[in-house]
Structure 1
Amino acid sequence: MNTIAVAHRAGNSLAGLHLANLLGADVIECDVHHHRGRLEVRHLKTAGPLPFLWDRWELVPASTPRLGLQELLEADAHGSTFMLDLKGPGSRTGVAVARLLHDLGLRRRLLVCGRQWSAVEAVADLDYVNPVLSARTSRELAALWPRLSRRSFHGVSVHRSLLDLDVVSRLRSSVEVVMTWPINDVQSLEQMVDLGVNAIISDNPEVLMQVVSRR
């Protein structure tokens, strides 16, 4: 199969969605939070009672408009394949996503990923959803192997620092798609492709265009 180009965080804004479609990305990733009964797509995190959203390099007022998952899905005019990265503890976000998809009557291919595997599994029984388990740490990777032996998953998304030839080969024997991130330069792209990774998650338009151009 061709290497899959995944536009990291592109679905967190309508402008990012538009750019990813122009680049020809195969999959558009967005971060899904369940906040006060609403599913929002954003990378910024809430700060409890404090009136702002934050990330390591960014601080914005809590009143900043937030894109909803339903709004994102309904705004898509290109039949994009989204990957919903489920955020928050436990299975709550996954349960809410499954409910929203059912209520919308949406039956289009989606990927659902996350480090909270119970949340991914809450959506995995929908027959149009491809579940992907994420691992950021060596402890999460160690826990991944028994999980993959107990249930079938479409793919895994593993941080690049955890991958070598043996790990990728073992993962490829268990799942269809092995994704990795962050791949934001061509040298890293070449290294991961050489290891056998077949889905590249990138913030860099040039890297995404490189992946697309190799077909």
Structure 2
Amino acid sequence: MRSLAIAHRAGNSLAGLHAANTLGADVIECDVHERRGQLEVRHLKTAGPLPFLWDRWELASASAPRLGLLELLEADRHATLFMLDLKGRRTSAARAVADLLHESGRDRPVMVCGRHWPSVDVLAELPFVLPVLSARNRLELSRLLERVRRSPVHGVSVHRSLLTPQIVAQLRTSVEVVMTWPINDLDLLESTLAIGANGVISDEPAVLRALLSSR
């Protein structure tokens, strides 16, 4: 299959959704959090009772408006293939996503990924969900190789630092798509494609544009 251009975090805002669709990205990723019974899409993390959201050097007011998953899906006008990155380690969030998809009548294909595989497994029971298991470190990668050997899934998402041609070849015997991140410069894009990965997750429009134009 052709390599997928995946717009990292583009679904975390309506402006990002529009920009990624205009670019022609194959997949638009968003980060899904459950908070106080609501499903939100955002990269920033909560800080318990403190009145802000944070991530490394970025802060935002906790009272600022937050984009809901339903609002994002309803704003889609392009039959977008979303990749919902489930955050946290509670399967209740995955069940809430499954309920939302059912209640909204959405039955188009949707990718669901996460490092907490039981949450991905919950949503994989839906016939239109394409499950993607993520690995960020070597221990997770070791477990991932064993898991997909026993029970193949649609795809995996593995940090670029962990991938070699041999690892990619091994993964592709069990999965359709080997995605990797963060691919944010053109040299890294070239080397990533050279080792056989066929899903490029990038924050940079120039990288996605180069991948799309090469096909």
TM-score higher than 0.5? yes
Q: Whole-Å Cα distance in 2 between the matches of residues 80 and 106 of structure 1?
A: 12
Partner of 2:107: 107
In the TM superposition, residue 152 of structure 1 has moved relative to its aligned partner by 2.6
Pair 1:14 & 2:30 matched: no
Letter of the 2:11 counterpart: G
Pair 1:172 & 2:152 matched: no
Q: Whole-Å Cα distance in 1 between the matches of residues 166 and 151 of structure 2?
A: 21
Q: 4+ residue runs of structure 1 moved beyond 6 angstroms? A: none
Which stretch of structure 1 is more off in the superposition, 149-158 or 79-88? Answer: 149-158
Q: Give the secondary structure class of the aligned counterpart of 1:67.
A: coil
Which stretch of structure 1 is more off in the superposition, 180-189 or 147-156? Answer: 147-156
Q: Give the secondary structure class of the aligned counterpart of 1:79.
A: coil
Partner of 2:43: 43
Q: Whole-Å Cα distance in 2 between the matches of residues 116 and 92 of structure 1?
A: 12
Write out aligned runs for 1:30-179 (5 A): 30-179=30-179
Q: Whole-Å Cα distance in 2 between the matches of residues 57 and 93 of structure 1?
A: 27
In the TM superposition, residue 86 of structure 1 has moved relative to its aligned partner by 0.2
Q: Deviations over 1:74-114 (max 9, x none)?
A: 00011111000000113222111111111111100100000
Letter of the 1:62 counterpart: A
Q: Deviations over 1:53-84 (max 9, x none)?
A: 00002111100110000000000011111000
Q: Whole-Å Cα distance in 2 between the matches of residues 151 and 170 of structure 1?
A: 14
Q: Whole-Å Cα distance in 1 between the matches of residues 130 and 159 of structure 2?
A: 19
Superposition TM-score, scaled by structure 1 size? 0.98
Q: Whole-Å Cα distance in 1 between the matches of residues 90 and 71 of structure 2?
A: 24
Q: Whole-Å Cα distance in 2 between the matches of residues 62 and 40 of structure 1?
A: 13
| Unmatched tracts of structure 1, length 5 or more | none
Letter of the 2:43 counterpart: H
Partner of 2:29: 29
In the TM superposition, residue 150 of structure 1 has moved relative to its aligned partner by 2.9
Q: Give the secondary structure class of the aligned counterpart of 2:51.
A: strand
Letter of the 1:90 counterpart: R
Letter of the 1:59 counterpart: L
Letter of the 1:53 counterpart: L
Q: Whole-Å Cα distance in 2 between the matches of residues 161 and 23 of structure 1?
A: 27
| Unmatched tracts of structure 2, length 5 or more | none
Letter of the 2:63 counterpart: S
Q: Whole-Å Cα distance in 1 between the matches of residues 183 and 158 of structure 2?
A: 12
Letter of the 1:24 counterpart: G
Partner of 2:191: 191
In the TM superposition, residue 19 of structure 1 has moved relative to its aligned partner by 0.4
What is the aligned-residue RMSD (CA, Å)? Answer: 0.7
Q: Give the secondary structure class of the aligned counterpart of 1:50.
A: coil
Q: Whole-Å Cα distance in 2 between the matches of residues 79 and 172 of structure 1?
A: 27
Which stretch of structure 1 is more off in the superposition, 142-151 or 176-185? Answer: 142-151
Q: How many residues align?
A: 215
Q: Whole-Å Cα distance in 1 between the matches of residues 48 and 95 of structure 2?
A: 22
